[in-house]
Amino acid sequence: MSSIETKQQQVEATLRLAPVVPVVIIDDARAAVPMARALVAGGIPAIEVTLRTPAALDAIRAIAAEVEGAVVGVGTVLTPRDLEHARQAGAKFAVSPGVSPKLLAAADDSDLPLLPGVATASEAMSLLERGYRHLKFFPAVPAGGHKLLGAWASPLPQIRFCPTGGISLTSAPEFLSLPNVVCVGGSWLTPVDKLKSGDWAGIEALAREAAALKAR
């Protein structure tokens, strides 16, 4: 079994843990552990912490070390350096909004599984040639939504997607009903106001709503 195939199996196992992977932008690393515990308690174990704030890597370290049942990943991975820092912080998977030759080369050499982002069929085909069968569809709603993604199911039956970008609790079922969707990514589970106020019960409630959604 090739290294890429092993890592793709790891990605698939992570994506199948729940119908939604929360996409988290965290400004205060001290909020990471209670937030992650609330998500796990609500039935959402896979958590993508994006590299969009200085607190992100500290948040990943804390979740990886302290939250039982959490599978923490890193999002907004743009460079080989991002990938390596995420691995050192304890991330179990990485997510990128797109791909570059340098990032793909680094992913080939890294033990950290990558979920690369695509917005076109050509991008998806290029990654399929490299052995990627699980991809992020981003930005899902602006790029064409569930209708575009559903149109890819027949010509690209080998690929399964995690659409992310503009998806809400209301629109998630449209994506989850598609045969080529494993789960969706969404930021609605960890809204800024609840993170700032420490409303962990509110985040757990949002997680329970998301966990009750069904993927096909």
DSSP letter assigned to residue 157? T
More confident residue, 209 or 214: 209
Q: Which of 7, 48, 194, 204 is catalytic?
A: 48
SS3 46: strand
Length of the chain: 216
Residues 6+ apart with CB under 8 A from 22: 39, 44, 47, 48, 185, 186, 187, 189, 190, 207, 210
The two tokens of residue 190 are: 């960890």
Known active-site residue 92:
no
Cis before 139? omega within 30: yes
In tens, the pLDDT along 150-196 reads 999 999 999 999 999 999 999 999 999 999 999 999 999 999 999 99
- 45-79 pLDDT, tens digit per residue, is 999 999 999 999 999 999 999 999 999 999 999 99
Nearest 5°: phi and psi at 45? -85, -30
What domains can be seen in the chain, in order of their start residue?
3-211 (3.20.20.70)
Q: From the candidates 84, 92, 102, 136, which is the catalytic residue? A: 136
**What is the model's pLDDT at position 156?**
98
Per the confidence metrics, is the pTM higher than 0.75? yes
What is the per-residue pLDDT for 2? Answer: 61
Active site residue 136: yes
* Distance (Å, whole) CA 27 – CA 45: 21
Element (H, E) at 4: helix 3-15
